[in-house]
Structure 1
Amino acid sequence: MGIAFTLIIYLATSQAETADLKERFAFSKEVLTSLIGILGTIIGFYFGATQDRTATERRRR
């Protein structure tokens, strides 16, 4: 969320030409899309491992 907000603020305050601004926005969108996928995988793995560990501890009791 913070990364997206930072990109929006940067693009809004940039003094670039319109064509250059569109190119930067497209590049920023691609980078953000990649980061969301990577961060989603990491967070999913973390919470999946936590739930698996909790289920294993319950079975031991």
Structure 2
Amino acid sequence: MAGWLADRILDWAESRPAIRDYYAVGTGQWRPLPYVVNVLTHSRERYRRSLRYYADYPELQ
């Protein structure tokens, strides 16, 4: 994506908290994926810990 277009989209979203705070443009709300399809880690425990952390601190999503 061109930088000027990304800047324009971000400027637009910044003034709309309902859009900005709940999902990235075009992705929808965050939903945890099952461990078997994750690409973040090979450790089941580490993945579970990350999901709990995101649930406790939703502002990180």
TM-score category by the smaller chain? Answer: 0.3 to 0.5
Which structure shows the bigger proportion of residues in helix conformation?
1
Larger radius of gyration: 1
TM-score by length of 2: 0.35
